[in-house]
Amino acid sequence: MVEVDWTEAVGPRTGVGSPYLFGWLRACYMEPGFIADGRAVVLARESQSAGWAQYQGPVTRPDADSLVSAFALLGVPERAPRVEGVPDSSDTWVMSTMRVAVNGRTQTFTIQAQCSGFRGQEADGLRAAFQRILALSGYGHQHTIFRDTGESNW
């Protein structure tokens, strides 16, 4: 079983922010008989005044297996990935809190960054794992801390 939950929020440098994306993935596969259920869901909005849109898609057993492998390469769930925010002079912060559970073992961690995003030994792998989850949900937008360049689009 693999479970992933995360929230992304944005705000002004010295003020309170608000969430713009909630996501979760659940996949449970049992042998023998291969009882399978897997789904990735994203609720997102493009601005504070915009309405929420829902995106969802199936998660196959190979998808779940590849995500479990990707998180294992990042050390998750035994430890948090080795990433850090990139300091810059922007007036905006972004944050994502994640919970990843694999076969009953759980790791929860938070990334705090500014417009320059995050970096580190495992930043590319973490971005790739979450880009895969976002793709499985059908959320094709780049309005996420996990966009491929490492920089946010705030």
Q: What is the pTM of this model?
A: 0.90
Binning pLDDT at 50, 70 and 90, where does residue 34 land?
A: low
Q: Which domains does the chain have, with CATH numbers?
A: 2-137 (3.30.1560)
pLDDT tens profile 89-103: 889 999 999 999 998
- How far apart CA 24 and CA 62 sit, in angstroms, is 18
Rounded mean pLDDT, 123-152: 86
Q: Residue 89's CB: how many other CB atoms inside 10 A?
A: 8
Take residue 87 and report the two structure tokens written for it: 């300091």
pLDDT, one tens digit per residue, over 43-90 is 999 888 889 999 999 999 899 999 999 999 999 999 999 999 998 988
Helix (H, G, I), strand (E, B) or coil at 120: coil
Instruction: Answer yes or no: is pLDDT of 133 > 90.
Output: yes
